[in-house]
């Protein structure tokens, strides 16, 4: 058994809205191992981001609230540690990158300052070494003329450059875990590849665990060691890249893979999963995927499936395998 | 949602409105050149106000009952704004029928000067002719003057009721004028754009920078303080905010599909302005109108407070002025009109806030 | 940023300010001359006891001040003198307008400055606190009081303060004492009631804007980023949120200046008998002493225009996104 550096157990994050309780994350379990990159995949609104935000307790409250569960980082439960301890971990032990670099950077401070502030904060460095480190980070993520550009403001950068700055800031204190929440979604396709390259490099160069969140199974391939497939706030399937791509078990994973445009395939039609993304308010009693599932059975509508181990690394939550 | 309104507002109604204006204008001309005094100047204001209120307020509300109910439901969720509305309705009722029931607010009676309100007793030194000495006498409040009297023995209740009428007249009528001018300026500026927009907006800028209150004081001082004049001046100077708001609203509407569509169908400028732009900015206009009434009421009160109010009518500012001079002998004279003024302004602010939230589709109530 | 752009913008704005000032002078001048009373009549009223022939005096006065010339010539002369720094002669106080203003401006200045400091600091503090504690009792209380603050007529508030603290409790004088040295505690104490009178409405307004601006920015993504970096809440709010929220608040504060200079301060000076420019121009209006009125209006307008310009320039430092070209 591998050692999990971060362990998420029975996490429940609900949003209390006017129209009802949204169960965005509903009893989710998974772990991240040292040095691996784990991809969390699922459609928009399946609770990926809520899961990621829950790890660092960044859920906006109200309306969101972490109801139950445990997030074990080393020997601590992040959901129960003090605010002070949590702030020491945020950015230092676990860093995070967000979807939209445009709005995630503060428009009125220079990018240098926004990278440097957590270096000063966590590593307690003096002015000069802070600046040197900032400079080094910016060069590392591929920002040309970094020494001059440190003094520029976010609006003076392009979208891809901004995301590089976000990455530089996240890496600044040498975190053990990097959570990247759809870091390429807001970018152009060509820029997207460049950012993904940075992640591939990071994976090779650093002893760092990456939790990479995306809705696009296609971007996962070069990055992921293991994949967690989420659907409707619950986990559908967990496995290595090979497990998921070569031997998908869950009908939803099948659907996702079928949706990928395949150059070698004869058909030139893009497939899609029929049906709507489920409402997470009052989800059905049984398997949440059952209304859309092509292989739905009687039991699927009555009982929530348990997670079944199909092979060493491969878990699936589906009645077909129980 | 508002497109339904646009179908029902406009068209014939604008013709009727323009017709009413023409008739009113004719009567004014008749009044000036042929017959003497068909109506007091105030009367014309009222007719004008009623015409606008019915054609652009009551009728569209009635025609779109469902929409009206929806907005009312949303406004109602602000408890304070309902409270504000209740107070305003009460005040309007008092201003309309109150003067028939109260005493003459201008009747001076020095025997009953500085009588405190019911429930209060004050000590007053009175010169006694017989003993040739000052006597300290207790004066209790009486039910004849429930809110007391001022230093000339005038009944404060009657004065306050008269003041309510003045404040509401100025507040409503001057705002109406200002909003009308502002709306027209804004819509025209946005619709025609180009140099028309440039000229109108530069003019608005200058008006905005111009010291409004000093201008008011000048004009009133020079041309004499009459209520009609005060209303006109406030109305003619206070339209800048509305013009800007309406312009920006109309600018965003101008490029919307239904305006484009009707232009491509060959609708004339006037038709687009009257049938599409104006009805669709109405909701913002109603909000800004409600929110600018307090400022207008305060401006009038400030004017009469510094002695530039219409001397022929009793207004709250005027009572306040008198009250300031007799603070040490009769505190209630300064307190009472101020409370009413404050509550009125508060009521309009609450109501305006509620309406704004009700009309704002983004606000979740 | 290109310096040329900013300089060009400032020059453009200065020209614009000059045009507006010119417009204000013109309109004021015309309005005052249209009035039914000639300034000479007032002068005459002051002098009548000492002279035999009123008509002669009128003629003499009018000749002396150029009032017998046609309006456009008077206007031209006035503008030329204005440009030369000769701001005219005050009929009612018998001294040059510039001297009058020199002795009185400081009273208005201290009142407005202190009120703005009072209103801005308290308003910001309450507004930001109320936003941080949204939906708590503190927030509701602050919102309620800010509604009261913006609705309370400031001249009435002034009278009530005098009634309670001066007449009833006797803590303060009912009138501002001009004999006090400017930088003394006694002077500060004398200004407490006027500052509250003028500042309360402003404060309430600023509170509302500060609250909504803070709330707007607290929902932004960069706040979440700042929290994810592990910054303490003090830095997240005090640096990241506040620095963004302050921008619209500064605009509001500067925008409200015009109303304060020309409305609030004017009435406050009258109520408390502070001999500032507001009260001077108030007296001058009733005395038909138009050079005083025109000059004070002009000064007020210029102050407002220049502060607006200054705000725009400060803005380029505070908000790197702003460019003027």
Q: Is residue C260 a part of any domain in this protein?
A: yes
Structural domain total, chain C: 2
Question: Could you tell me if C147 and B345 are in contact, meaning their C-beta atoms sit under 8 angstroms apart?
Answer: no
Ramachandran assignment for C170, one of left (phi > 0), alpha (psi -120 to 50 degrees), beta (any other): left
State the CATH class of domain B78-112+149-365.
Answer: mainly alpha
Contact residues, chain B, for C147 at CB < 8 Å: 80, 346, 349-350
Lowest-confidence region among A74-88, B292-306, C42-56, C299-313: C42-56
The reply to whether B328 touches chain C by the CB within 8 Å rule is yes
Q: A38 and A186: one domain?
A: yes
pLDDT band of residue C56 (cuts 50, 70, 90) is low
pLDDT for B51 equals 75
Give me the half-sphere count of Cα atoms (radius 13 Å) on the Cβ side of residue B337. Answer: 36
**Domain ranges, residue C70:** 3-83
More confident residue, C153 or B61: C153
Beta pairing partners, A12: A26, A68
Give the confidence band of B365 by pLDDT, cuts at 50, 70, 90: very low
pLDDT for position B3: 42
Q: Cβ distance B247 to B186 under 8 Å?
A: yes
Structure-token pair, residue C165: 């603290």
**Rounded average pLDDT over A75-84:** 86
pLDDT of residue B5: 44
Task: Say whether both A232 and A85 belong to one domain.
Answer: yes
Give yes or no: residues C107 and C178 share one domain: yes
User: Which residue, among C151, C168, C292, C307, would best test binding to B if mutated, counting the most B CBs under 10 Å from its CB?
Assistant: C151
Return the HEC string of chain A. CCCEEEEEEEEEEEEEECCEEEEEEEEEEEEEECCCEEEEECCCCCCHHHHHHHHCCCCCCCCEEEEEEEEEECCEECCCCCHHHHHHHECCCEEEECCCHHHHCCCCCCHHHHHHHHHHHHHCCCHHHHHHHHHHHHHHCCCCCHHHHCCCCHHHCCHHHHHHHHHHHHHCCCCCEEEEECCCCCCCHHHHHHHHHHHHHHHHHCCCEEEEEECCHHHHCCCCCEEEEEECCEEEEEEEHHHHHHCCCCHHHHHHHHHCCCCCCCCCCCCCCCCCCCCCECCCCCCCCHHHCCCCCCHHHCCCCCEEEEECCEEEECHHHC
Contact criterion met (CB < 8 Å) for C230 and A89: yes
The pLDDT of residue A312 is above 60: yes
Judged by phi (left if over 0) then psi (alpha if -120 to 50, else beta), residue C78 lies in: alpha
Taking only the tens place, the pLDDT of each residue in C227-277 is: 998 888 888 888 899 988 888 888 888 878 777 777 788 888 888 888 888
| Distance between CA atoms of residues A150 and C300, nearest Å | 43
C228 with A121: Cβ contact below 8 A = no
Kindly report the number of other CB atoms within 10 A of residue C72's CB atom: 8
Chain B CB contacts of C282 under 8 Å are 217, 306
Residue C174 has pLDDT above 50, yes or no: yes
Using CB atoms and an 8 Å cut-off, which of residues 83-142 of chain C contact chain A?
Answer: 135
Task: Please report which confidence band the pLDDT of residue C118 belongs to, taking 50, 70 and 90 as the band edges.
Answer: very high
Could you tell me the two tokens for B200?
A: 């109108």
Considering only CB atoms, B349 lies closest to which of C151, C153, C262, namely C151
Q: Which two tokens stand for residue A281?
A: 């308010």
CB contact C192 to A (< 8 Å): no
Query: Would you call C225 and A121 a contact, using CB atoms and an 8 Å cutoff?
Result: no
Average pLDDT of chain C, as a whole number:
80
From A254, A90, A97, select the one nearest A179 (Cα to Cα): A97
Answer whether residue C49 shows pLDDT above 60.
no
Between B257 and B79, the higher pLDDT residue: B79
Q: Which residues of C touch B209 (CB under 8 A)?
A: 20, 24, 258, 301, 304-305
Residues of A in contact with C240 (CB under 8 A): 106, 109
Q: Does B218 touch chain C (CB under 8 A)?
A: yes
Clarify whether residues A169 and A21 are in a common domain.
no
Q: Measured between alpha carbons, how far is A14 from A4 in angstroms, rounded to an integer? A: 25
* Chain B positions in Cβ-Cβ contact with residue C293 (cut-off 8 Å): 214, 218
Interface chains of chain B (3 or more CB pairs under 8 Å) = C
Give the pLDDT band (50/70/90) at residue C60: low
Q: How far is CA B107 from CA B139, B163, B226, B317, in A?
A: 20, 15, 21, 18
Helix (H, G, I), strand (E, B) or coil at C134: coil
Residues near B230 by Cβ (< 8 Å), separated by ≥ 6?
A: B170, B174, B220, B300, B303, B309, B310
Chain C contact partners (≥3 CB pairs within 8 A): A, B
Chain C interface includes B332 (CB < 8 A)? no
- Tell me, what's the ipTM? 0.85
* Smallest Cα distance from C12 to chain B, Å: 14
Of the candidate ranges A75-84, B129-138, B185-194, the one whose mean pLDDT is the lowest = B129-138
Chain C residue with Cα closest to A118: C229
Residue B112: partners with Cβ closer than 8 Å, 6 or more residues away: B145, B149, B153
For residues A184 and A274, state if they share a domain.
Answer: yes
The torsion angle over the Cα atoms of residues C18, C22, C28 and C34, rounded to 10 degrees, is 180
Instruction: Decide if A129 is inside a domain.
Output: yes
8 Å CB contact of C224 and A58: yes
First to last CA, chain B: 19
Q: Give the pLDDT score at C2.
A: 45
Collapsed DSSP state (helix, strand, coil) of residue B139: strand
Is B212–C262 a contact, with Cβ atoms under 8 angstroms apart? yes
Q: What is the residue range of A65's domain?
A: 4-93+177-321
Domain locations along chain B: 1-76, 78-112+149-365, 115-147
Query: pLDDT (tens digit, 9 = 90+) per residue, A96-115?
Result: 998 888 889 988 899 999 99
Asked whether residue A198 falls in the same domain as residue A86, the answer is: yes
C155 with C44, same domain: the answer is no
C124 or A268: which leads in pLDDT: C124
| Average pLDDT of the residues in A297-317 | 84
Residue B313: closest CA among B216, B170, B212, B215: B170
- Tokens in use for C17? 């300010």
Which of 138-197 (B) contact C at CB < 8 A?
Answer: none
Alpha helices by DSSP H, C276-320: 277-286, 290-318
Give the closest of A96, A105, A117 to C231, CB-based: A117
Position C91 in a domain: no
Please tell me if residue B338 touches chain C, with a CB cutoff of 8 Å.
Answer: yes
**What is the model's pTM?**
0.80
Handedness of CA B312, B314, B317, B318 (dihedral sign): positive
Sheet holding A37-41, edge to edge: A94-97, A177-181, A209-214, A37-41, A226-231, A234-240, A314-317, A307-311
Confidence (pLDDT) at C32: 67
Question: For A19-46, what is each residue's pLDDT tens digit?
Answer: 788 888 888 888 898 888 899 988 887 8
- B98-120, pLDDT tens digit by residue? 777 777 777 777 777 777 777 67
pLDDT value at residue A270: 59
CB A197 within 8 A of CB A284: no
> What pLDDT is recorded for position A80?
87
Q: pLDDT category, A303, cuts 50, 70, 90?
A: confident
pLDDT of C73: 78
Q: What is the CB-side half-sphere exposure of residue A69 using CA atoms within 13 A?
A: 25
CB A184 within 8 A of CB A13: no
**Structure tokens given for B103:** 């005493």
pLDDT on residue B328: 77
* Mean pLDDT rounded to a whole number for chain B: 78
CA distance B15 to B2: 21
CB-CB under 8 Å, A118 with C230: yes
**What whole-number distance in Å separates Cα of residue C288 and Cα of residue C38?**
8
User: Is A169 in CB contact (< 8 Å) with chain C?
Assistant: yes
In this predicted structure, what is the pLDDT of residue C68? 65
Contact C153 B206 (CB under 8 A): no
- Residue where one domain finishes, among candidates A174, A201, A216: A174
H or E element, residue B127:
strand B121-128
Is the residue at C54 inside a domain? yes
**Pairwise pLDDT comparison (A19 vs A155), residue with the higher score:** A155
Chain A, nearest residue to C321 by Cα: A155
pLDDT of residue B9: 46
pLDDT of residue C53: 62
CATH classification at residue A70: 3.40.50.300
Q: Which sign, positive or negative, has the C-alpha torsion A129, A135, A138, A142?
A: negative
Report yes or no: B342 at the C interface, CB cutoff 8 Å.
yes
Same domain as C188, residue C109: yes
Please report the pLDDT score of residue C55 as a whole number. 65
Count other Cβ atoms within 10 Å, centred on residue A297: 13
Q: Please state whether beta strands A177-181 and A209-214 pair in parallel, antiparallel, or not at all (unpaired).
A: parallel
Would you say A316 and A249 are in contact if contact means Cβ atoms under 8 Å apart? yes
A177-181 and A94-97 beta bridge pairing: parallel
The more confident residue out of A88 and B130 is: A88
CA distance C253 to chain B (A): 15
Tell me: do A141 and A226 sit in the same domain.
no
Residues of C in contact with B219 (CB under 8 A): 31
pLDDT at residue B4, rounded to an integer: 43
Helices (H), chain C: 3-34, 39-47, 54-64, 71-84, 97-132, 137-151, 154-161, 185-218, 221-228, 233-235, 242-259, 265-272, 277-286, 290-318
Neighbours of C268 (CB within 10 A): 30
| Average pLDDT for B143-157 | 77
Which residues in chain C touch residue B305, judged by CB atoms under 8 angstroms apart? Answer: 155, 267
CA–chain centroid gap for C87, Å, is 21
Helix, strand, coil shares of chain B, percent, nearest 5, are 70, 5, 25
> How far does the CA of residue A122 sit from the closest CA of chain C (Å)?
8
Which residues in chain A are closer than 8 Å to C235, comparing Cβ atoms? 117
Test A92 with C230 for CB contact under 8 angstroms: yes
A246 contacts: CB under 8 Å, gap ≥ 6: none
Could you tell me how many residues make up chain B?
A: 365
- Does the beta carbon of B38 lie under 8 angstroms from any beta carbon of chain C? no
CA distance B167 to chain C (A): 13
Q: What is the DSSP letter of B155?
A: B
Asked if C200 and C240 sit in the same domain, the reply is: yes
pLDDT of B303 over the 80 cut: yes
Copy the structure tokens of residue B309: 């109010």
User: In this model, does residue A159 exceed pLDDT 80?
Assistant: yes
C323 domain-assigned: no
Domain count, chain A: 2
Examine the domain organization and report whether C179 and C262 are in the same domain.
Answer: yes
Query: Residue C1 pLDDT > 50, yes or no?
Result: no
- Asked if C304 lies within 8 A of B331 by C-beta distance, the reply is no
* Domain identity same for A230 and A287: yes
- pLDDT top residue among B62 and C158: C158
What's B42-59 look like in SS3?
HHHHHHHHHHHHHHHHHH
Write down the pLDDT at residue C119.
92
Alpha carbon of residue C216 to chain centroid: 29
> How does residue A186 score in pLDDT terms, banded at 50, 70 and 90?
confident
Same domain assignment for residues A71 and A120: no
With bands split at pLDDT 50, 70 and 90, how would you rate the model's confidence at A283?
A: confident
Are C286 and C196 within one domain?
yes
Per-residue confidence (pLDDT) for residue C123, from 0 to 100: 92
Q: Which residues of C touch A117 (CB under 8 A)?
A: 229, 231, 235
Same domain, C25 and C128: no
Section C89-109 average pLDDT: 82
pLDDT tens-digit series, residues C184-234: 777 888 888 999 999 998 899 899 888 888 888 888 889 999 999 888 888
Q: Does A122 reside within a domain? A: yes
C224 vs A: CB within 8 A: yes
């Amino acid at each position: 058994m591998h050692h999990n550096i971060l362990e998420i157990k029975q996490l429940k994050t609900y949003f209390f809205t006017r129209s009802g309780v949204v169960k965005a994350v509903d009893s989710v379990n998974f772990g991240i191992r040292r040095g691996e990159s784990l991809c969390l995949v699922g459609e928009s609104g399946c609770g990926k981001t809520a899961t990621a935000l829950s790890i660092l307790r960044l859920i906006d409250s109200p309306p969101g609230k972490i109801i139950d569960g445990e997030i074990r980082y080393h020997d601590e439960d992040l959901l129960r540690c003090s605010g002070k301890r949590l702030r020491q971990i945020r950015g230092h032990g676990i860093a995070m990158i967000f979807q939209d670099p445009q709005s995630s950077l503060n428009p009125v401070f220079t990018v240098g300052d926004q990278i440097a502030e957590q270096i000063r904060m966590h590593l307690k460095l003096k002015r000069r070494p802070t600046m040197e480190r900032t400079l080094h980070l910016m060069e590392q993520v591929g920002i040309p003329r970094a020494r001059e550009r440190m003094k520029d403001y976010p609006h003076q950068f392009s979208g891809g450059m901004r995301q590089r700055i976000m990455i530089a800031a996240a890496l600044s204190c040498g975190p053990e875990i990097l959570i990247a929440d759809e870091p390429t979604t807001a970018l152009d396709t060509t820029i997207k590849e460049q950012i993904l390259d940075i992640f591939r490099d990071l994976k090779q160069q650093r002893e760092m665990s990456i939790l990479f969140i995306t809705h696009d199974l296609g971007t996962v391939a070069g990055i992921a060691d293991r994949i967690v497939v989420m659907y409707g706030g619950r986990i559908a399937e967990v496995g290595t890249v090979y497990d998921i791509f070569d031997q998908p078990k869950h009908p939803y994973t099948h659907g996702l893979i079928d949706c990928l445009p395949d150059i070698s395939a004869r058909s030139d039609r893009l497939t899609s999963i029929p049906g709507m993304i489920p409402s997470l308010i009052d989800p059905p009693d049984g398997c949440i995927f059952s209304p859309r599932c092509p292989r739905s059975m009687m039991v699927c509508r009555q009982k929530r499936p348990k997670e079944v181990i199909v092979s060493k690394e491969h878990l699936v939550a589906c009645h077909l395998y129980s | 949602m508002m497109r339904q309104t646009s179908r029902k507002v406009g068209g014939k109604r604008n013709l009727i409105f323009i017709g009413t204006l023409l008739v009113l204008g004719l009567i004014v001309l008749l009044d000036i050149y042929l017959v003497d005094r068909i109506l007091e100047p105030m009367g014309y204001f009222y007719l004008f106000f009623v015409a606008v209120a019915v054609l652009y307020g009551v009728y569209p509300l009635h025609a779109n009952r469902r929409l009206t109910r929806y907005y009312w439901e949303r406004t109602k969720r602000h408890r304070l704004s309902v409270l504000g509305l209740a107070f305003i309705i009460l005040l309007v009722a008092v201003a309309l029928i109150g003067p028939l029931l109260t005493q003459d607010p201008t009747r001076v009676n020095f025997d009953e000067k500085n009588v405190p309100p019911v429930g209060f007793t004050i000590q007053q030194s009175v010169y006694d002719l017989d003993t040739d000495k000052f006597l300290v006498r207790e004066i209790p409040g009486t039910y004849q003057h429930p809110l007391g009297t001022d230093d000339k023995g005038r009944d404060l209740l009657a004065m306050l009721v008269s003041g309510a009428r003045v404040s509401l007249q100025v507040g409503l009528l001057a705002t109406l004028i200002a909003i009308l001018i502002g709306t027209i300026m804004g819509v025209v500026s946005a619709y025609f754009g180009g140099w028309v927009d440039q000229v109108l907006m530069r003019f608005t800028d200058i008006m905005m920078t111009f010291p409004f209150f000093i201008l008011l004081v000048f004009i009133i001082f020079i041309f004499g303080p009459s209520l009609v004049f005060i209303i006109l001046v406030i109305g003619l100077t206070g339209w800048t905010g509305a013009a800007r708001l309406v312009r920006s609203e109309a600018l965003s509407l101008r490029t919307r599909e239904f305006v484009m569509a009707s232009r491509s169908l060959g609708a004339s400028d006037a038709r687009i302005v009257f049938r599409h732009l104006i009805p669709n900015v109405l909701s913002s206009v109603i909000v800004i109108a409600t929110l600018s009434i307090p400022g207008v009421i305060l401006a009038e009160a400030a004017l009469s407070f510094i002695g530039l109010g219409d001397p022929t009518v009793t207004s709250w500012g005027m009572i306040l002025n008198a009250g300031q001079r007799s603070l040490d002998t009769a505190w209630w004279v300064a307190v009472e009109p101020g409370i009413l003024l404050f509550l009125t302004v508060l009521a309009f602010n609450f109501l305006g806030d509620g309406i704004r939230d009700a009309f704002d589709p983004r606000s979740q109530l | 940023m290109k310096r040329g752009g900013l300089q060009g913008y400032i020059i453009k704005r200065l020209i614009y300010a000059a045009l507006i000032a010119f417009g204000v002078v013109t309109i004021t001048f015309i309005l005052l001359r249209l009035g039914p009373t000639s300034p000479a009549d007032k002068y005459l009223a002051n002098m009548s006891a000492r002279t035999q022939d009123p008509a002669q005096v009128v003629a003499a006065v009018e000749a002396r001040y150029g009032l017998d010339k046609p309006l456009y010539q008077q206007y031209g002369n006035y503008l030329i003198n204005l440009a030369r720094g000769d701001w005219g002669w005050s009929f009612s106080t018998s001294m040059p307008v510039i001297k009058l203003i020199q002795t009185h401006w400081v009273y208005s200045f201290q009142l407005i400055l202190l009120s703005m400091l009072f209103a801005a600091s308290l308003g910001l503090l309450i507004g930001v606190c109320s936003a941080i504690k949204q939906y708590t009792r503190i927030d509701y209380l602050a919102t309620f009081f800010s509604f009261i603050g913006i609705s309370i007529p400031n001249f009435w508030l002034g009278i009530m303060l005098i009634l309670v603290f001066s007449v009833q409790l006797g803590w303060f004088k009912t009138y501002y004492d001009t004999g006090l040295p400017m930088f003394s505690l006694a002077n500060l104490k004398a200004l407490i009631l006027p500052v509250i009178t003028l500042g309360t409405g402003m404060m309430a307004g600023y509170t509302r804007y500060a609250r909504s601006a803070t709330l707007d920015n607290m929902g932004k993504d960069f706040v979440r980023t700042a929290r994810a970096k592990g910054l303490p809440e003090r830095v997240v709010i005090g640096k990241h949120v506040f620095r963004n929220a302050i921008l619209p608040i500064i605009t509001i504060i500067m925008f409200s200046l015009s109303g304060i200079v020309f409305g609030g301060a004017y009435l406050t000076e009258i109520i408390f008998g502070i001999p500032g420019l507001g009260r001077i121009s108030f007296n001058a209006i009733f005395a038909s002493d138009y050079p005083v009125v025109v000059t004070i209006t002009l000064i007020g307008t210029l102050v407002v225009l220049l502060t607006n310009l200054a705000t725009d320039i400060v803005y380029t430092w505070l908000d790197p996104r702003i460019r003027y070209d």
